Chains A and B, each alone.
Chain A
Amino acid sequence: MGPEGLFTGPIPGQSLTRSPDQRAPYEMPPKFAKTADALDHLLLMVTDKKFIKNFAILLRKNKKLKLDKMVSAILQQGFVNGMWTVDTAMLLIEPLLCLMVWAAAQQDASVTFSTDTGYEDRTGFDYVTNALVGDPNVIANDMSASNEEVLDEKSQGITDDATPAPQSPLLGA
């Protein structure tokens, strides 16, 4: 830490100078004490159809969005809001990463990581789809159609709030 770094953070013990009645959420017991409970909460959040749809739109619009950074941000925000401790957040990194990859795959959206070199071996998807569908052009056309659909919805001012909230696929239709 450089000399200027000493003045950018809080003074050691600064949090203790506040009244105990004005505690920050992360200074109190977390909402989810068990990792499994926190994971259940994240499962319900990520498997929500509204979340999956918006996540896919976000991934398509912002190609530079890195999934691991996003996972880290979600878990840090949860800690700041008193949902879980830092220890629990560390244990939740891998499962949440997998959940987000799963959510992206549901909408045929691509994920990138901050450690990607640009020449990742991302085989599999095209191979499987070509084998199943037969014609790769079919997939490309469908993808562009779905993108146009999303843009049309936005231009017409249709928002997700106007429609009833869809049920999570894991909760049963």
Chain B
Amino acid sequence: MEFMDKLAAKAADKFKETADSLWEGLGGTQASKSKTVRNAKFSAGKYATLATMVLMLNFPDNASVFRQAFNVTGNGPDGVEGFAASKSVTANAIARALHNTQVISQKLSLDAIRETGNADVTATSTLKDIRQILPVITRSVKETK
């Protein structure tokens, strides 16, 4: 099924684009291109942040668990509280963005339950959905900076 490969590649492209938009919204980074290439073996923090956000939207019941388990380093602080306590501006922005996502995901879930009596009515949340709410998330992050 070659078309599945193509769709997956397209989804990967969309994922990277959305991660870039998210990172821009959070204030970007000061890392240069050359440093990026040198550190390419590391998993990107923006990828992990976006993945956590999509999962929070897809599983609103487990949103707090994902928020708590957020850890881009494997060695760094666990959970959003650890990031919020950091002196790093970017880490603080990530913490606030994830908090906002949790609030939004739970609100969407409550709305769905109120309207249809079933939280699963939204089926799956995709990158398109998160692109729509991205301005809301990043705007509030900038306001509280």
- Residues on A lying within 8 angstroms of B by beta carbon are 34-36, 39, 43, 67-69, 71-72, 75-76, 79, 86, 89-95, 97-99, 101-102, 104-111, 113-115, 119-129, 131-133, 138-139, 142, 146, 169-170
CB distance from B104 to the nearest CB of A (A): 16
User: What are 7 A-B pairs with beta-carbon distances under 8 A?
Assistant: A95-B55, A98-B51, A107-B74, A108-B43, A115-B12, A124-B49, A128-B88
Known contacts A34-B120, A93-B4, A102-B51; 14 further A-B pairs (Cβ under 8 A) = A68-B5, A94-B126, A99-B55, A105-B71, A105-B72, A105-B74, A109-B43, A122-B40, A123-B35, A123-B36, A124-B23, A124-B45, A127-B31, A128-B88
Say whether B133 faces chain A, with CB atoms less than 8 Å apart: no
- Contact (A133, B76) CB under 8 Å given A34-B123, A123-B23: yes
Say whether B103 faces chain A, with CB atoms less than 8 Å apart: no
Task: Say whether A126 contacts B42, CB under 8 Å.
Answer: yes
Task: Say whether B46 contacts A132, CB under 8 Å.
Answer: no
CB distance from A109 to the nearest CB of B (A): 6
Q: Which residues of chain B are near A93, meaning CB under 8 Å?
A: 4, 7-8, 11
- Residues on B lying within 8 angstroms of A by beta carbon are 1, 4-5, 7-9, 11-16, 20, 23, 29-31, 33, 35-37, 39-52, 54-55, 58-59, 62, 65-66, 69, 71-77, 82-83, 86-88, 90-91, 94, 120, 123-127
Q: Which residues of chain B are near A107, meaning CB under 8 Å?
A: 74
Bound state CA distance, A3 and B44, in angstroms? 46
Closest to B14 in A: A94
A-B contact count, CB below 8 Å?
207
Bound state CA distance, A91 and B94, in angstroms? 28
Task: Say whether B123 contacts A35, CB under 8 Å.
Answer: yes
Task: Say whether B124 contacts A128, CB under 8 Å.
Answer: no
Q: Which residues of chain B are near A124, meaning CB under 8 Å?
A: 23, 29, 31, 44-47, 49, 72, 90
Q: Which residues of chain B are near A35, meaning CB under 8 Å?
A: 123-124
Q: Which residues of chain A are near B8, meaning CB under 8 Å?
A: 68-69, 71-72, 93, 97
- Residue in contact with B4 in the complex, picked from A67, A75, A98, CB distance below 8 Å: A75
Task: Say whether A128 contacts B45, CB under 8 Å.
Answer: yes
Task: Say whether A139 contacts B73, CB under 8 Å.
Answer: yes
Bound state CA distance, A98 and B19, in angstroms? 11
Bound state CA distance, A68 and B30, in angstroms? 29
- Contact (A101, B48) CB under 8 Å given A106-B71, A121-B33, A125-B42: yes
Closest to A107 in B: B74
